[in-house]
Amino acid sequence: MSTIAIHTSATMHHHDDHSHGHHKETFLTKYVFSQDHKMIAKQFLITGIIMGVIAMTLSILFRIQLAYPDHNFPLLEVLLGKFAPDGRLDPNFYLSLVTIHGTIMVFFVLTAGLSGTFSNLLIPLQLGARDMASPFMNMLSYWLFFSASVIMLSTFFIESGPAGAGWTIYPPLSALPKAMPGSGLGMTLWLVSMVLFVASSLIGGINYVSTILNMRTKGMDLWKMPLTCWAFFLTAVLGILSFPVLVAGIVLLVFDRSFGTSFYLSDIYIGGQALANEGGSPILWEHLFWFLGHPEVYIVIMPAMGIASEVMSVNSRKPIFGYHAMVYSLIGITVLSFIVWGHHMFVTGMNPFLGGVFMITTLIIAVPSAVKTFNWLATLWRGNIRFTPAMLFAIGLVSFFISGGLTGIWLGNAALDINLHDTYFVVAHFHLVMGSAAIFGMLAGIYHWYPKMFGRLMNPKLGYLHFWLTFASAYLVFFPMHFMGLDGVPRRYYAFTEFESMQKWLSVNVFITWAAILGAVAQVAFLFNFFYSIFFGEKSTQNPWEANTLEWTTPVERIHGNWPGEIPTVYRWAYDYSKPGHDADFITQNTPLSETMSSNLPHDFAGNEEAERIQEQWNIEHKNIDSREEVK
Amino acid sequence: MKKIFSLFALIALAFNQVMAQDTVAGAAEEVSKTDGLAKMVGYYLLLFLLLCIFIGIVGKILQVYDLTKKIQGKKEGIKWNNINGLIFAVFLVLGLYGAYWCYTVQGAQILPDAASIHGAKIDSMLNVTLILTTIVFVITHILLFTFAYRYKFNRKKKAYYYPHNNTLEKYWTITPAIVLTILVLMGFFTWRGITNISKSDMASAIQIDVTAHQFAWEVRYAGKDNVAGNKNYKLIGSLNGLNTLGLDLSDKRNYDDLKVSEIVLPVNKSVRFTLGSQDVIHSFYMPDFRVQMNCVPGMATFFQFTPTITTAEMREKTGNPKYNYKLYCAKICGASHYNMQFAVRVVSEKEYKEWIKQQKPIVTEDMKKQYQLAMKDNLAPKNNKIALNN
């Protein structure tokens, strides 16, 4: 396998040297057009972090507008020019900020930055493969993502400004340049960027699925895979099945915008003119968008769940509670996520009967989510918890997932949604359950697998500071928003000044903005830690967290092909932590049962009678019957 | 050694920021009205820098403390696991108090009781959901953070190997399933009750037709026949620009329709809103009545409800003599999305009848004249065409 992989990459770049060991890499093939999954993971991660910082900065800009709607900030005019005349954001630019913040966070940070990084890094390392099924496609996936990012950001430098119709870009607002400046060139570039993004995501997804299905090492059957890999696998399947629908929707929108078709447009009078379009329906876009859009939120959260499960198990020094239930709940979420998209459309004019059906499917999806939460709690119970920064973020994820998930029960209820739809309640809900929770999963992953990416450790103390500030500020930002929503304050409002009834929330807005600034400043601790530790961090040992999974059996040096010799064989599941009868509190997956005779349980042999007989023999010899009986 | 590096890096970072500040300053000098801006930015950057240095120094001190402890022969330095566990416990207490504070203080600022029949049902559903979710929220967080505190790392202990328990898992699959089933059923029937209205109830309600456009609402009452006349978007702006709604004047039902500048509803009478949009999607949102429905171009949408509290009563109830019902736009629709106002008032039956008498027909005399003129111009050639075809 290694021969093939290296051989291909060598011919690709016309290297003369075909020998395995001395395969020379130039700067360009090592750091730029790399086909090594670990390097591509780092490329995804660093691009994702940069995009995340940008999107966070955008959010601070519009938070300042919300807190001080009557205030002029000359600095804003210096920085933004005509987008902030006299130091106040232009209302159209405000909407552009909201739109691009959402787009970047959902797609570029929490889809590409999260799945792209950790699927690429962990699938081959945890399943025992030399690289991805197609390293070239993997490289292509990153560069398409990179192009999409550049195009998305370039819209800040065009005259009409970035797209501004909200991240869901509902037509006709997004289809008619007359409706808002953001629906001009900015929207065209948004659509181009998203098509490239989806291409990247699909290529990546196909690669992840084929790697997981075909390239697992000997002994690594599906039920021995760590939960991270299960999560990445199901996420990739979701993406492959749902992203093409978004592209279909986008293509129709491009046709409506540029070629005069009427897929989404009908009976429109705008700018003193009746348009010729008839027979289309904006509802069609909403269906197509949310057919992706809802699975998308699970694309965002499932890898984070997988990471949290792994991190919590390692750091509680306990097996994940209910491994099978965890997998089945992921599968349940995957399947159900395809039939719940209509809960975004209860009050759009969709047939109300359909609304009732979608409400039922939506509330069913809460069951597997509840199971996951309880299993995480049970994993912590009677553990021996090491609070590494990764562990703190994983616990933070559980907290956010509970807080945000519970309000999902409100919003999934069509009757309650009438009054909560498009209010700050929704903003609070999804920022907690998929925003904060997913970003915490991502941060947990970064702190945990940093040694596998850079061979060094991040500073834990700065990690603690980062966690506590971020955790507190996220709650301070989003918790009060629920109550604004319950007061019927609609989202995407440029200012709360025009309505008497919203005046009382102005002081809350100031509070939220300062909490958000605190949260943003806290990220400096992370950024410094991340980039400083690449060069000066403490050198990592091979298995710094004493974890079971295969990536910790690779050398610290992170060589091409991952393992210097043979790929390890897997004999057991990933969660043998603190197993009674074993001296250490972890047993790596590549440890044969024959080396752990003192701790083997009948269940471990999966019905292999010969092995059971040998174990019984050993037990009799070592008088180890008691421990067996106890477990039965 | 590394730590010296870290200090250097901090200083370098500081220097970079000063440089960045200089460039900002350079740009700022060109604009006279931004005088002093550079100073202000520099001031905040310096403050931030000081904070960074302070954190750096604290880090150093902790490091030194840690090292001295190790030199003294203790295996562990600072017990970070204990500290983090403790912060979780503190966070739980503060967090629960914070949530309680929000519930009581900010909870007092939310919408008053629903002013409609279906709204009251929604409110009771909301309360049930609120209670259930709050219970789960509190219990799970107590468990999460106490486990974090209670089971923090201890060198002497070993975690309990507990991979699964099928009974337990069955319980916590079935319990949420049952609770959710109850909520689903309640929600489903409430929702059907709101949206599934019989034909006769539809016809007997007061018909109000709302057209949204950037960035205002046009409202017409259906008049004596209680049926709103046809309109066609292609007629908008016809009749020399007088026909702002695109009314089809060949439809006689248009002539008794009334144009209003505020929505006035009689209390305890069913009203049916027919909603539409001329340009982009808007959302007809009246939170006091728990009413929201999108206005979609090319498709009529509906919302029917019965207001139960007059504005005057609501002012008394809330103790706010200026309290008004309001209509917002809740769907992003462009620059002035945040300011699409329309006044709403609920009055007694008697007041309503007086008010409606004063409302003017939407088809003005001018419009009629223009229409007749246009018809005259059009009639001759039209007849010709028909004749020719024959």
B61 and B175 fall within a common domain: no
Q: Which residues contact B294 (CB under 8 A, 6 or more apart)?
A: A347, A348, A349, B275, B281, B282, B283, B284, B301, B331
Q: Are A438 and A300 in contact (CB under 8 A)?
A: yes
ipTM for the whole complex: 0.91
CB contact B197 to A (< 8 Å)? no
SS3 label, residue B280 = coil
Report CB contact under 8 Å: B106, A480: yes
Bridge partners (DSSP) of residue B293 are B284
Sign of CA dihedral B89, B92, B98, B101: negative
Q: Does B331 touch chain A (CB under 8 A)?
A: yes
Q: What is the pLDDT of residue B13?
A: 55
Q: Which two tokens stand for residue A553?
A: 């059996």
Assign a CATH topology to domain A2-12+32-539. Cytochrome C Oxidase; Chain A (1.20.210)
Residues of A in contact with B96 (CB under 8 A): none
Answer yes or no: do B248 and B120 share one domain.
Answer: no
Give the distance, in angstroms, between the CA of residue A565 and the centroid of all CA atoms in the same chain. Answer: 33
Among the listed ranges A91-105, A377-391, B67-81, B145-159, which one has the minimum average pLDDT value? B67-81
Residue A16: count other Cβ atoms within 10 Å of its Cβ: 6
Q: Are A231 and A330 in contact (CB under 8 A)?
A: yes
Q: What single DSSP character describes residue B152?
A: B
**Nearest residue to B256 via CA among B276, B234, B232, B226:** B226
Kindly determine whether residue A486 and residue B334, on different chains, have CB atoms separated by under 8 Å. Answer: no
Q: Which residues of B touch A322 (CB under 8 A)?
A: 163-165, 169
Sign of the C-alpha dihedral computed for residues B236, B238, B243 and B249 taken in this order: negative
What mean pLDDT do residues A175-185 have?
Answer: 94
Query: Which chain B residues have a beta carbon less than 8 Å from that of A488?
Result: 111, 285, 287-288, 328
Asked if A173 lies within 8 A of B333 by C-beta distance, the reply is yes
Q: Which residue of B5, B191, B192 is the best one to mutate when testing the A interface, meaning the one whose CB has the most A CBs within 10 A?
A: B191
Yes or no, beta carbons of A406 and B133 under 8 Å apart? yes
Domain count, chain B: 3
CB atoms B292 and A419 under 8 Å: yes
* A377 Cβ contact list (under 8 Å, min separation 6): A398, B140, B143, B144, B147
Pick from B33, B141, B341: CB nearest A399: B141
Q: How many CB atoms lie within 10 A of CB A74?
A: 18
A531 touches chain B (CB under 8 A): no
Is the CB of residue A81 less than 8 Å from the CB of residue A150?
no
Q: Domain check: are B213 and B131 in the same one?
A: no
Rg of chain A taking only CA atoms, in angstroms:
26
For residues A482-492, give the mean pLDDT.
95
**Does B368 reside within a domain?**
no
* CB atoms B281 and A280 under 8 Å: no
Residue ending a domain, choose from B48, B78, B108: B78
How near does any CA of chain A get to the CA of B30, in Å? Answer: 10
Burial class (CB in 10 A: 0-12, 13-18, 19+), B73: exposed
Provide the shortest C-alpha distance from residue B326 to chain A (in Å). Answer: 9
Torsion of the alpha carbons at B304, B309, B315 and B316, rounded to the nearest 10? -170
**Residue B19, domain extent:** 1-78
> Does A297 reach chain B within 8 Å, measured CB to CB?
no
Longest CA span, chain A: 94
**Considering only residues 133 to 192 of chain A, which have any Cβ-Cβ distance to chain B shorter than 8 Å?**
165-166, 170, 172-173, 176, 179-180
CB neighbours (10 Å) of residue B379? 10
Q: Under DSSP, is residue A320 helix (H, G, I), strand (E, B) or coil? A: coil
What is the distance between the terminal CA atoms of chain B, rounded to a whole angstrom?
102
How would you write the pLDDT of chain B (390 residues) with one tens digit per residue?
A: 445 455 555 555 555 554 454 555 445 445 555 678 888 889 999 999 999 999 999 999 998 988 888 888 777 778 899 999 999 999 999 999 999 999 999 999 999 999 999 999 999 999 999 999 999 999 999 999 999 999 999 888 889 999 989 999 999 999 999 999 999 999 999 999 999 999 999 999 999 999 999 999 999 999 899 999 999 999 998 888 889 999 999 999 999 999 999 999 999 999 999 999 999 999 999 999 999 999 999 999 999 999 999 999 999 999 999 999 999 999 999 999 999 999 999 999 999 999 999 999 999 998 999 888 888 876 654 444 433 443
Query: Of B5, B24, B293, which has the smallest distance from its Cβ to A78's Cβ?
Result: B24
Q: Distance between CA atoms of A394 and A388, rounded to whole angstroms?
A: 10
**Which of A78, A100, A350, A482 has the highest number of chain B CBs within 10 A, making it the mutation to test binding with B?**
A78
Of A40-49, A123-132, B2-11, B311-320, minimum mean pLDDT range: B2-11
A408 touches chain B (CB under 8 A): no
The answer to whether A534 faces chain B, any CB pair under 8 Å, is no
Asked whether the predicted pLDDT for residue A312 surpasses 70, the reply is yes
Shortest alpha-carbon distance between residue A359 and chain B (Å): 7
Interchain CB contact of B9 with A (< 8 Å) = yes
B381: in domain: no
Q: Residue B280 and residue A176: Cβ atoms within 8 Å? A: yes
Q: Is the per-residue pLDDT at A620 higher than 60?
A: yes
Amino acid at B36: G
Answer whether residue B313 is part of any domain.
Answer: yes
Pick A102 or A607 by higher pLDDT: A102
Q: Are residues B138 and B16 in the same domain?
A: no
B136 with B240, same domain: the answer is: no
| CA-based nearest residue in chain A for residue B78 | A461
CB contact under 8 A, A410 and B129: yes
Q: Assess B108–A contact: CB distance below 8 Å, yes or no.
A: no
> B340 and B276 in one domain?
yes
Q: How far is the alpha carbon of B195 from chain A, nearest alpha carbon, in Å?
A: 6
Do B181 and B252 reside in the same domain of the chain? no
What digits encode the pLDDT tens for the residues A341-352? 999 999 998 998
Q: If we measure between CA atoms, which residue out of A403, A449, A422 comes closest to residue A543?
A: A449
Chain B residues closer than 8 Å to A318 by CB:
159-162
Binning chain A into helix, strand and coil, the percentages to the nearest 5 are: 70, 0, 30
Task: Please give the residue that has the higher pLDDT: either A13 or A461.
Answer: A461
Q: Go through A482-512 and write b for each residue having 16 or more CB atoms within 10 A of its CB, e for each that does not.
A: bbbbbbbbbbbbbbbebbebbeebbebbeeb
Selection from A422, A420, A404 nearest residue A492 by Cα: A422
> What's the CA gap between B114 and B285, in Å, rounded?
14
CB atoms within 10 A of CB B290: 27
Domain extents for chain A?
A: 2-12+32-539, 568-631
How many pairs of residues across A and B have Cβ atoms under 8 Å apart?
Answer: 376
pLDDT at A624: 58
> Is B373 a member of any domain?
no
Segment A568-589 mean pLDDT: 92
For chain A, percent of residues with pLDDT exceeding 90: 81
Interchain CB distance below 8 Å, A347 and B292: yes
Which residues of A are less than 8 Å from B31 in CB distance? Answer: 74, 77-78
pLDDT at B17: 52
Cα distances (Å, whole numbers) of residue B127 to A73, A343, A410, A479: 42, 21, 10, 18
Sheet hosting strand B206-213, strand order edge to edge: B301-305, B271-277, B206-213, B216-221, B258-260, B360-361
Task: Report the pLDDT value the prediction gives residue B12, as an integer from 0 to 100.
Answer: 53
What is the C-alpha to C-alpha distance for residues B161 and A581, in angstroms, rounded to an integer? 11
Examine residue B310 and state whether it is found in any structural domain, yes or no.
yes
Domain assignment present for residue B378? The answer is: no
Residues B33 and B178 in one domain: no
Beta-carbon neighbour count of residue B77 at 10 Å? Answer: 15
CA distance A11 to A18: 8
Contacts with A415 from chain B: Cβ below 8 Å: 121-122, 125, 187, 190-191, 194
CATH of the domain at B273: 2.60.40.420
Q: Which residues sit opposite B321 in a β-bridge?
A: none
Share of residues in chain A with pLDDT > 70 (%): 95
Q: What is the per-residue pLDDT across A320-334, written as a single tens digit (0 to 9) for each?
A: 999 999 999 999 999
* AA identity, residue B67: L
Q: For position A606, what pLDDT does the model report?
A: 80
B250 and chain A: CB distance < 8 Å anywhere?
Answer: no
Q: What is the pLDDT of residues A157-171, one digit of tens each?
A: 999 999 999 999 999
Mean pLDDT of chain A: 91
Return d(Cα A184, Cα A335) in angstroms, integer: 37
Cα→Cα distances A127→A474, A476, B116, Å? 35, 40, 59
The pair of structure tokens assigned to A149 is 């990012």
Nearest residue on chain A to B107, judged by CA atoms? Answer: A483
User: Are B71 and B184 within one domain?
Assistant: no
Residues B67 and B101 in one domain: no
What local confidence, expressed as pLDDT, does residue A402 receive? 96
Sign, Cα dihedral of A236, A297, A388, A327:
negative
Q: Above 70 in pLDDT, residue A75?
A: yes
Chain A from 89 to 108: CB within 8 A of any B CB: 90-92, 95
Indicate yes or no: CB of B136 within 8 angstroms of CB of A406.
yes
In residues, how long is chain A? 632
Asked whether residue B109 falls in the same domain as residue B256, the answer is: no
What distance in Å separates residue A165's CA from the closest CA in chain B?
A: 7
Check residue B257 and give its pLDDT. 93
Is pLDDT of A177 > 90? Answer: yes
Instruction: Report chain A residues whose CB lies below 8 A from the CB of B332.
Output: 95, 165-166, 170, 173, 492
Within an 8 Å CB–CB cutoff, is residue A83 touching chain B? no
User: Best mutation site among B54, B280, B333 for testing chain A: the one with the most A CBs within 10 Å?
Assistant: B280
Contact with chain B for residue A399, Cβ under 8 A: yes
Full-model pTM? 0.91
Does residue A499 belong to the interface with chain B, where contact is any CB pair within 8 Å? yes
- Candidate ranges A146-150, A275-279, B40-44; pick with highest mean pLDDT: A146-150
Give residues with Cβ within 8 angstroms of B116, minimum separation 6: B289, B290, B291, B305, B306, B307, B308
Which among B162, B330, B339 is the nearest to A498, CB-wise? B339
Residues B224 and B338 in one domain: yes
Is B161's CB within 8 Å of A498's CB? no
